[in-house]
Structure 1
Amino acid sequence: MKTQSGNSRREFVKKAGLLGLTFGLPFPKIPDFMKGYELGIVVHSYGMRSSGRLPSTEFPAFQDALDFMNHCHEIGASGIQTVINGWQSDFSKKVREEREKKGMYLEGSIGLPKLKEDVARFEFDILAAKEAGATVVRSVCLNGRRYENFNSLEEFMDFKKGAIQSLQLAEPIVRKHQIKLAIENHKDWKAAELAEILKQLGSEWVGATVDFGNNVSLIEDPNEVIETLAPFAFSTHIKDMGVQEYEDGFLLSEVPLGEGIVDLKKGMDLCKKYNPEITFSLEMITRDPLKVPCLTDRYWETFDNPKAQNFARHLAMIKKNSFSGSLPMTSGLSDDAKLGLEEKNVVECIQWANSQ
């Protein structure tokens, strides 16, 4: 772990240990395979804190990307992936200077252009990302979940048409400025669907942000998803997933690394094989478990008829690997307790990756 004199490994472990004592939970033993795989942090790991919607003096909201970067550096992260929206040149330069001083990587998160009129905004943000030192920007085609946003296959196909148009608008811009655009599997595309879109686009500048857990919600094995998307990987969202049955399907939740169903070593090794320069960015979202109502008719409206064998295999996997104990919950907690749990989960994952 790269540190400055004021942020030694000893200080980091001390901070992490104190946080663990605060919540009465020990940190897990660090497996050998994580050595050499330093983790950065996706800003969405701090969904509650970064939004500022929960007031707190103990866990104050991040004021900007510099504030977020400083915090991530203090807890031992190797880089950040953060939203870039309207950054002016002087701010981008400050981010670059701070990033270089700390020896951290930077990846952007930028909205795709929906129409031709939006291309100028997209290019402005791409230039800001490049000036700040990012070589990769992540984006998504859908804000939401496929099985919740659409009521029919026709609606989904309209969305797909618009998403492809957005990528076609974005590609010349990232090619022109030679910065990589990484499209996340964001509970919208099945792995093979996203791979096919990227193949058809056929650009060396447009690839994937491989999210290690999202597609469990689309009845896909997370390890098979990584295998499918790793050849296109420009960036990653590292996470582990816990699952439990409920009456309409199953519950899905990010859990501390090493406690869930994702083969992290295999996935990280595979992404590194296809892209030796890839970074590994933690997306540990702290929230109530998501309900995946795969036993209801509405869930299947946007999918072709699934193979019964594959569906049965997925449900069997859920049953076999049911998370021990309760999945993480935030309902009923005070604001400070929610923010404290969010911080604990992130620090635990970073220590899991960094400690010896």
Structure 2
Amino acid sequence: MKLGISSFTFPWAIGGIEPDYPVAMSAFELLERAHNLKADVLQIADNLPIGGLAEAELLKLKAQAVSYGISIEIGTRGIKSENIENFLRIAQLLGSPILRVVIDSKGHEPTIPEIVQLLKPFEAKFKEANIKLAIENHDRLTCAEFNEIIDQVGSDWVGICLDTVNSLGAVEAPNTVIPALAPRAINVHLKDFEIVRTNGQMGFTVRGTALGEGRLDVAEVITAVGGTKREITAVIELWTPRQDSYEATVALENEWAEISVTNLRKSIGS
């Protein structure tokens, strides 16, 4: 099992969450952070847009990653054909063994038949490139629906990017999600959390924590996806809560990233 850092380890530092703080970090700067944390893998997802980078810049990024001994994995959002085509090309250029994808994009929440119709034509291209499509469980769809999609599209080239917390949006908790999706996991997003009472004791708030400091049973997730000896990336993602200032939020995010890496390294024995 490889230790991965993601653009979603540092979403506040990258920017784009609030209008006053647009995306300000480059893929090269994120790579430096992964290098400083001694990560095995850097996963660049849709919150750090690289879809428009020239081929020369992408190859330069790959060369820098190789010099650090870091592998790159690529992620995107949206399954319209032109987007999948572009990011499959980028995945090939960067040597990514997977293309992680979130199905829904702004203004496009396709039905299962439409999802299958859009993805199925790419089967031959992904197989030829020796790249697997990793569909992330994300909010709207249930575990049963994700499994149905893979059954119809083809489990020999499509798998799950297993996120430990996202499916709360579909009213499915980790103790449901992990056993349902782990058999098809080809990538893991380890995201820890806590559940606390709101003011007045009426309702709950789900909020992020550093990995290993919340309610997530990290060892259970690792075992479920095949154990530490399996060739799979465990990617740290953070839901760092907004602090009183943007600067304090970024500082907490950086602190949590270091804690998370330390805790995950203990869990996987690397």
Question: Map of 1:277-288 to 2, 5 A cutoff?
Answer: 277-287=231-241
1:224 to partner: Cα distance: 3.0
- Which residue is equivalent to 1:342? 253
Q: State how 1:158-197 maps to structure 2 within 5 Å.
A: 159-197=111-149
Match of 2:162 in 1: 210
List aligned pairs for 1:1-356, cutoff 5 A.
38-51=2-15, 61-62=24-25, 64-83=26-45, 84-114=50-80, 118-119=81-82, 121-143=83-105, 159-246=111-198, 249-273=203-227, 276-287=230-241, 330-331=242-243, 333-354=244-265
- Asked if the contact 1:88/1:128 (under 8 Å) is kept, the reply is no
Per-residue CA distance 1:168-209 (angstroms, 9 max, x = gap): 344343233221110000112221221121112224111110
Check the 8 A contact 1:215/1:225 in 2, yes or no. Answer: yes
Aligned-pair distance for 1:38?
A: 5.0
Identity rate of aligned residues, in percent?
A: 27
In structure 1, distance between residues paired with 2:189 and 2:163? 5
Shift of 1:136: 0.8
- When the two chains are superposed, the root-mean-square deviation of aligned CA atoms in Å is 2.9
Q: 1:207 to 1:94 in 2, by over 3 A?
A: same
Are the equivalent residues in 2 in contact too, given 1:112–1:170 (CA < 8 A)? Answer: no
Partner Cα distance (1:341, 1:197) in 2: 38
Equivalent position SS for 2:77: coil
Q: Is the 8 A contact 1:231 1:274 kept in 2?
A: no
In structure 2, the residue corresponding to 1:87 is in which secondary structure? coil
* Distance in 2 between residues matched to 1:133 and 1:176, nearest whole Å: 14
For 1:210 and 1:55, locate their aligned partners in 2 and report how far apart those are by CA, in whole Å. Answer: 29
Specify whether residues 183 and 249 from structure 1 end up closer, same or farther in structure 2 by C-alpha distance, changes over 3 A only.
Answer: farther
Letter in 1 for 2:235: S
Q: Distance in 2 between matches of 1:231 and 1:339?
A: 35
Report if the CA contact (8 A) 1:113-1:169 is conserved.
Answer: no
Which amino acid counterpart does residue 188 of structure 1 have in structure 2? Answer: R
Q: CA deviation at 1:73?
A: 1.1
**Deviation per residue, 1:255-276 (Å, 9 max, x gap):** 1122322221111122135992
Q: TM-score, normalised by structure 2?
A: 0.84
Q: Distance in 1 between matches of 2:132 and 2:208?
A: 27
Asked if the contact 2:212–2:264 (Cα under 8 Å) also holds between the matched residues in 1, the reply is no
Report the structure, 1 or 2, having the larger helix content: 1
Bigger-Rg structure (1/2): 1
Once the two structures are superposed, residues 141-183 of structure 1 have per-residue CA deviations (whole angstroms, 9 ceiling, x without a partner) of 1248xxxx9xxxxx97x64443333323443432332211100
Q: Deviations over 1:28-79 (max 9, x none)?
A: xxxxxxxxx55211202221211266669xxx942x2121111121123222
Shift of 1:129: 1.5
8 Å CA contact 2:40–2:70 kept in 1: the answer is yes
1:275–1:230: structure 2 CA closer, same or farther, 3 Å change rule?
farther
CA contact (8 A) 1:87 1:125 kept: no
1:3-33 superposed Cα distances (whole Å, 9 cap, x missing partner): xxxxxxxxxxxxxxxxxxxxxxxxxxxxxxx
Where structure 1 has 5 or more consecutive residues not aligned to the other structure, the ranges are: 1-36, 150-154, 288-329
For 1:254 and 1:143, locate their aligned partners in 2 and report how far apart those are by CA, in whole Å. Answer: 23
Structure holding more strand per residue: 2
